[in-house]
Structure 1
Amino acid sequence: MTTALAAPLTAAPLAPSPTRLWTPSRVLVTRSAAERPHGRRIIARLEAAGVSDIELLTGDRLPNLRGDGDRAAFMAAKQTLAVVVPPASRRKLQPIPPSADWRFDLAEGCPAHCQYCYLAGSLTGPPITRVWADLDEALADLDGYVGHGAITSGTAERGMEGTTFEASCYTDPLALEHLTGGLATAVTWFGTHDWPGPVQLRATTKFDDVAGLLDLPHNGRTRLRFSLNAASVDRRFEGATAKVPARIAALSAVAAAGYPVGLTIAPIMPVEGWREEYGQLLDDVAAALPAGADLTVECITHRFTPNSKATLTEWYPRTKLEMDEDLRTTKRGKFGAVKHVYPKDVMTELRGWFTGAIAERLPEARLLYWT
């Protein structure tokens, strides 16, 4: 059983030139990673991209990358790419609500410098980017998950999406694509594999290098979403990313190539003039989308944890990002984890405005969730 093939909405979409491509200063490749086909493909792409410092390790353990915990050590870690094979336990997929049935990692870590970075509270150790070299084997193991999810698969609200696999929980796969080719490999597999049921690969990005994705046989089974924000949030807090107008141009290109697309409006912040700024953002998206585009919207408000605040203020000591516990409501998770979110009245106002504005400006879009 397979999903219907999706034809491009327009012929030969033009890819915008990428405005931001990351080149790591240092690359570490473990022995097991270098032995994998995907690992060898990554090494070839790194060499073609002009990366000169590629160290092939004699074993599978990475060297100590913690440094002295100072700013220089942080920047060195952010400029380091490691190509590794994850432990087998990491390939046992976990649910990832509210986004998708299953979390399917291509990598962990991100080269961007978003001052609200969610990874700060999720990943431990130096903020290097680790790319998984066992992608071919991991893709071949996905059939057993089809039809067994609880977020989209078999649900009344989102069952038409099939079994969904989220590739951007702990990374931005498009930020790494020119170096790894991993996203294109996954898109092609999802588009051409004979699946036992309907499926969808999902990926979110703050980058715009989509040229290598436009001609792939995706067959409508990959939804590419673009993380967008108000102009002032982008300008102040989203360092080393493609800027929002470039992301919107990339969104337009992949939609024209027949991909289902999405907006991840995150993290929503009630900055001064937020209605005007977010309204302009929605208007810009509406103007850029080709007619008939399959569009979803996900709305995620800003929140932080004690751990993420401590890490982010260490990473970005001059940040002006509002992380004042006195201005927030404290929520506790199932196991007692603390999260600081906007108060109920602020959340109600934000949700009411966004729900109405999306319905008015993007009437064909499906709002998947608000959180």
Structure 2
Amino acid sequence: MSLHDPASLRTARLWRPRRVVVTAAARDHAHGRAILARAEALGLPVEALPGNRLTGLRHPDPRRAYIEAKSTLAVVVAPPAKLKLQPIPPSADWRVDLAEGCPAHCQYCYLAGSLAGPPVTRVYANLPEILSNLASYVGRGGVTSASAERAQEGTSFEASCYTDPLGIEHLSGSLSAAIRHFGAWDAPVSLRATTKFAAVEPLLGLDHGRRTRLRFSVNPVAAGRFEGGTAPLRERLSALGAVARAGYPVGLTVAPILPLPDWRAAYDDLFVQAAEALAGAPDLDITAELITHRFTPGSKTVLEGWYPGSDLPMREDERSRKFTKFGSVKYVFPPELMREMRGELTRSLAERLPMARVLYWT
């Protein structure tokens, strides 16, 4: 398959939840009703809940609870706490949640241990309220708003901290709405979204005003092995090229970086393929974010319950123990290995994609 093949975008795999539930409050919102209409048009079973509580999702077997939750889409109203935005360094000034939860099955999932309850994908019906709330945060923030190097991004809002917005876009329509909102917004602002999916065709004709940066999470040693339910790596790279040729600023989110066998050659080949996919993109604006694998004791426990038998390397005796800014423990690679990986990847990236700006290594 060519990395410039448009047919791969039209045939990209779309998530089909086994169960769609909608709360009473979500049905009061036009965006919520539009989500239901999309689900019904796809022939998905839709259940209208009598109230606003999600029920029937817990199971004594954590693996069974995981499977049932991961196959459920819940249309709900974002609680008031979601309108009080949190900073999200080093990615962006502020985190804005269009949804919470993700249909992918990544064995290293960064949401494990972060979200309460079963990992249901919740999409928010009160999207206009969420988007209109952003105006009060313009000019504030500690990442792009306070950085000379990234000042051209304006006040930045990250939409993929707790979800993969493209993975559910065919049902939610929320990412397209946010892109149009930012494209029409006469202010120094930008939207950021990361994805492991490839169904970008609905985004290509949007009036984005170059205010949305679409980044693709890519990992040659993890895709196909630890990233179940996602688009194949070559489809993601093809989608990267398509949105770049549609004028979007783009990015590579290389995560989680893992020193598995032949990792040097694998990451180098990744950047070669990315350069091929981006060939011919006008006014190319591309960034790279380099994120190594890490885990906490809590996330490891959750992930081992979700993915028993996984060979994802999570041995504490092979890691360095660090503390987060909140005082909790996390396990990262030892300093010498971190320096080696950083040197190899940044060197290869500079050689294969010299136009890419590295935003951070972590």
1:38-58 C-alpha deviation (Å, 9 max, x unpaired): 10110111111221x211112
Write out the 4+ residue segments of structure 1 that deviate beyond 6 Å after TM superposition: none
Could you list the per-position Cα deviations for residues 110-145 of structure 1 after superposition, in whole angstroms to 9, with x for gaps in the alignment?
A: 111110000102112111111111111111121111
Match of 2:180 in 1: 188
Is residue 2:297 matched to residue 1:306?
yes
Residue 359 of structure 2: aligned partner = 368
Q: CA deviation at 1:193?
A: 2.5
Q: Work out the CA distance in 2 between the residues paired with 1:15 and 1:236.
A: 21
In the alignment, which residue of structure 1 is the partner of 2:43?
A: 50
Q: Give runs of aligned pairs for residues 280-319 of structure 1, distance below 5 A.
A: 280-289=269-278, 290-291=280-281, 292-319=283-310
* Residue 266 (structure 1) aligns with: 255
Out of 334, 340, 344, the position equivalent to 2:335 is: 344
Secondary structure of 1:165's aligned partner: strand
5+ long unaligned stretches in structure 1: 1-12
CA drift of 1:72 comes to 2.7
Alignment RMSD (CA, Å): 1.2
Q: 1: CA distance between counterparts of 2:62 and 2:88?
A: 33
Q: Which residue is 1:66 aligned to?
A: 58
1:206 and 1:226 in contact (8 A); partners too = yes
Distance 1:288 1:363 in 2: 15
In structure 2, C-alpha distance between the alignment counterparts of 1:14 and 1:60, rounded to whole Å = 41
**Shift in Å, 1:15:** 7.2
The Cα offsets for residues 24-83 of structure 1, whole Å up to 9 and x where unpaired, read as 1011101111111110110111111221x2111121111141122243332111101111
What's the CA shift for 1:299? 0.3
Q: Distance in 2 between the 1:274 and 1:334 partners?
A: 30
Aligned to 1:320: 311
Number of equivalences: 355
Q: In the TM superposition, what are the counterparts of 1:166-181 in structure 2 within 5 Å?
A: 166-181=158-173
Aligned-residue offset at 1:19: 2.7
Residue 118 in structure 1 maps to residue 107 in structure 2: no
1:21 aligned to 2:14? yes
**Cα-to-partner distance string for 1:273-310 (whole Å, 9 max, x where unaligned):** 00100000000000110343110000000000001100
1:101/1:149 contact within 8 Å kept: yes
Matched, 1:152 2:144: yes
| TM-score (normalizing by structure 2) | 0.96
Q: Which residue of 2 aligns with 1:217?
A: 207
2:62–2:306 contact (8 Å) kept in structure 1: no
CA distance in 1, matches of 2:88, 2:300: 23
Partner of 2:326: 335
| Contact in 1 for aligned 2:8/2:235 (Cα 8 Å) | no
The structural deviation recorded for 1:14 is 7.7
Can you list the C-alpha shifts for 1:235-270, whole angstroms capped at 9, x where unaligned? 210111001000000001000000000000000000
Partner of residue 121, structure 2: 129
For 2:110 and 2:164, how far apart are their aligned partners in 1? 12
Tell me how far 1:17 sits from its aligned partner: 2.1
CA offset digits 1:172-230 (Å, max 9, x no partner): 00000001111000000110133xx3111000000000010000000100000000001
Q: Normalising by structure 1, what TM-score?
A: 0.93
* Residue of structure 1 in register with 2:228 after alignment: 239
> Residues 18 and 208 of structure 1 are in contact (CA less than 8 Å); yes or no, is this contact kept in structure 2?
no
Task: Give 1:104's aligned residue.
Answer: 96
Structure 1 residues 18-27 or 238-247, which shifts more?
A: 18-27
Distance, in Å, in 1 between the alignment partners of 2:75 and 2:191 is 22
Instruction: Output aligned runs, 1:4-19, within 5 Å.
Output: 16-19=9-12
Q: Distance in 2 between matches of 1:260 and 1:208?
A: 16
The structure with higher relative contact order (CA 8 Å, sep 6+) is: 1
Q: Could you tell me whether the CA contact under 8 Å between 1:96 and 1:166 is conserved in 2? A: yes
SS in structure 1 of the partner of residue 325 of structure 2: coil
Q: What SS class does the counterpart of residue 173 from structure 1 fall into?
A: coil
* Alignment partner, residue 345 of structure 2: 354
Q: Percent identity?
A: 59
Conserved? CA contact 1:83–1:132, under 8 Å: yes
| Structure 1 Cα separation of the partners of residues 326 and 357 of structure 2 | 32
Q: Provide the C-alpha distance between the structure 2 equivalents of 1:214 and 1:229, rounded to a whole number of angstroms.
A: 24
CA distance in structure 2 between the aligned counterparts of 1:233 and 1:192, rounded to whole angstroms = 37
Structure 2 distance, partners of 1:336, 1:45, is 43
Summarize the Cα distance change of 1:143–1:242 in structure 2 as closer, same or farther, 3 Å threshold.
same
